[in-house]
Amino acid sequence: MVGGLEPLYEPTTWQVMSEHTELFVCFGGIPAKNFQINAGGVSKHFVRGAIDVAREGGAEFVLISPLADDLELQPRDRWIPITPASDTALMLALCWVLFDEKLWDKEFLDDHCAGTERFVDYLCGRSDGVVKDARWAAQICGIDAATITALARRMASSRTMVTTSWSLQRASFGEQPLWASIALAAFLGQIGLPGGGFGHGYGSTGGMGAAKLPYDLPTFRQGYNPVREFIPVARIADMLLHPGESYEFNGTTMNYPDTRLIYWAGGNPFHHHQDLGRLRRAFRRPETVIVHEPFWTATARHADIVFPVTTTLERNDIGCGRYDEAMVAMRQITSPVGESMNDYDVFSHLSKRIGVHEEFTENLDELGWLEKMYEQWRAVTPDPYRPREDFAHFWEKGRLDLGGAMAGHVMYQDFRNDPVAHPLATPSGLIEIVSDTIDDFGYDDCPPHPAWLAPPEVAGLGSGRYPLCLVANNPKTRLHSQLDHGAYSAASKVQGREPIRLHPDDAAARSINEGDVVLVRSETAQMLAGAVLDDNVARHVAQISTGAWYDYSAPNVADCVHGNPNVLAPDVGTSRLAQGSTGQLVRVQIERYDDDRPPVVVHDHHAWR
């Protein structure tokens, strides 16, 4: 496993891939709805153009997903529908074919990877009696063995980029598909070559694969937090409901702190957490909940104190992103509405009350801090990239183009050329297909190498009490839950509820027609949504976007009457290694709902709390 992936991960750029990649194998796709956005903003949209250039040069795209629209498919592209959460099994089988047919790059594996022999023993069934061949994977993935074998051969004969969406990790045992994709790329032996190797998150945001700047950007001073305790973010409800209890995480045993006060600024856990009914119960336990919000979200509704804060239109800021080539002066265009104030001003008032006002503010207001950050950044930015404009000129001009972006970057090129001189941030310095560190943890839910652990979303799909797998992915009509009440998002609703897509055959089997209100049930909860029939969704799969505001106003009918899928997903971690969110997939049953339909009132700030 590639250690230190977060701080060192600089993926191969789209410019390189559009020139050199012959075959893109996209697990989870490269969805256009995602690559239009980026933390800090996107000054220039380039991903679609780079894909077009690649196609014009003869590149082929293979989409492996239960949803055909996870990639804007063209005639030469291919969609291989896959059973949700079975990507790891397919990757293992592809590795087996490469090994069995001697298409693997043994020299690269010997020189650049650790644990290959043990992993091959697992592929061949020597360690568990199960050969991970194409016929084995076909039964799990819903893809015929011939297709799997042909894909492996095609990957070995091409300059191939293996891409995985971030979404693949947000399911049971979500560590495995990302690790397996690295092993697959290592077997191909193309890591460090222009246009080859692997990439995580292409299409997950607009910045992934952009040219990276060779210097930092302006940031607010972070200070030092003397409290060293922390929890994995997806374990919020566990922490609140079970103070003092132990849990395992990343090789350690930790204890949940007894948290009496929640102070939440810049987020919305009632959008991104699982089992929202359980989270509601958890939020009742602390003595005080304080929230910063410009909108009356579910998180604000569960707070004791709400500080109404400004939106980006009501304050001044600097806009810039790690993977972007422009800095923008985000000048305030309207006065704060009502009693709202900037987050910085809220914290400044609080700092005065607790006696640290001067230390916190340094006697600077909002614009003063922006100027200080800009000038400090300008002073340390190396020549020839240092801008000539001082803050006043930048603020008046409104935009600063940033130079030096490295468009020709190839991930791990130096490591490939000399793994001794340029080791990775792993204990061995190599790509760890087998991790001795994780082996020492002794986790049965995260073995020391990529492995097939059957998630509950896979077994018996199409049968049983919950025969459908619901895919809850990012929306295309809003950013997460932001502006769900806006006209564009509202126009996508079906009878005022979030649309849920089903294959026409699955809908017909349930007497569901286009536009019907449906009841969606899981073992955890139930919700209402609006039916849309679409053969871009694979059989026995349903799809709904996250971000519909959580409306729990009619609990006698459903836990959410608006279509927020996070009420349905159980609140469990991916494994004891990462304890990540598993909210991407959940097994459900769907039926037409013909009873009286409660109104959706969550966007009415006065009707209900």
Residues 304-322: pLDDT tens digits?
A: 999 999 999 999 999 998 7
What DSSP string describes 157-219?
TS-EEEEE-GGGGSSTTTHHHHHHHHHHHHHHT-TTSTT-EEEE-BTTBTTTTSPBPSS----
Question: Cα separation of 223 and 454, whole Å?
Answer: 44
Residues 559-605: pLDDT tens digits?
A: 999 999 999 999 999 999 999 999 999 999 999 999 999 999 999 87
- Write down the mean pLDDT value for the chain: 95
Poorest-pLDDT segment among 213-222, 355-364, 540-549: 213-222
CATH for 136: 3.40.228.10
Statement to judge: residues 395 and 346 lie in one domain: yes
Statement to judge: residues 97 and 153 lie in one domain: yes
Give the 3-state secondary structure of residue 330: strand
Q: Alpha-carbon torsion 492, 495, 496, 498, what sign?
A: negative
Statement to judge: residues 324 and 380 lie in one domain: yes
Please, is 411 exposed, middle or buried when counting C-beta atoms within 10 Å of its C-beta (0-12, 13-18, 19+)? Answer: buried
Residues 161-203: pLDDT tens digits?
A: 999 999 999 999 999 999 999 999 999 999 999 999 999 999 8
Residues 16-47: pLDDT tens digits?
A: 999 999 999 999 999 999 887 888 888 888 99
Can you give the pLDDT at residue 41? 82
Statement to judge: residues 194 and 248 lie in one domain: no
Has residue 206 been placed in a domain?
Answer: yes
Statement to judge: residues 198 and 240 lie in one domain: no
- The gap from C-alpha 281 to its chain's centroid, in whole angstroms, comes to 26
Task: State mean pLDDT over 242-271.
Answer: 96
Statement to judge: residues 262 and 166 lie in one domain: no
Can you give the pLDDT at residue 609? 57
Higher-scoring residue by pLDDT: 315, 224: 315
Total residues found in the chain within this entry = 609
Statement to judge: residues 57 and 178 lie in one domain: yes
Can you give the pLDDT at residue 608? 57
Question: Cα separation of 201 and 423, whole Å?
Answer: 23
Print the domain residue range for 569: 468-592
What DSSP string describes 373-436?
HHHHHHHHSPTTT--S--HHHHHHH-EEEPP--BTT--TTHHHHH-TTTS--SSTTSSEESS-H
Statement to judge: residues 196 and 255 lie in one domain: no
pLDDT band at 607 (very low <50, low <70, confident <90, very high): low
Percent of the chain with pLDDT over 90: 90
Question: Cα separation of 587 and 300, whole Å?
Answer: 30
- Indicate if the pLDDT at residue 376 is higher than 90: yes
Which of the listed residues 350, 367, 401 is the one where a domain comes to its end? 401
Statement to judge: residues 290 and 161 lie in one domain: no
Beta carbons within 8 Å of 49's beta carbon, 6+ residues apart: none
- Indicate if the pLDDT at residue 362 is higher than 50: yes
Beta strand 399-401 with 326-330: parallel, antiparallel or unpaired? antiparallel
CATH for 303: 3.40.50.740
Residues 517-548: pLDDT tens digits?
A: 999 999 999 999 999 999 999 999 999 999 99
Percent of the chain with pLDDT over 70: 98
The distance between the two most distant Cα atoms of the chain, rounded to a whole number of Å, is: 71
Number of folded domains that form the chain: 3
Beta carbons within 8 Å of 113's beta carbon, 6+ residues apart: 186, 430, 431, 432, 433
Has residue 606 been placed in a domain?
Answer: no
Can you give the pLDDT at residue 205? 87
- Indicate if the pLDDT at residue 7 is higher than 80: no
- Indicate if the pLDDT at residue 4 is higher than 60: no
- Indicate if the pLDDT at residue 437 is higher than 80: yes
- Residue 240, phi then psi, degrees to nearest 5: -70, -35
- Indicate if the pLDDT at residue 1 is higher than 50: no
- Indicate if the pLDDT at residue 284 is higher than 90: yes
Q: Report yes or no: 161 and 197 within 8 Å, Cβ to Cβ.
A: yes
Has residue 588 been placed in a domain?
Answer: yes
Has residue 452 been placed in a domain?
Answer: no
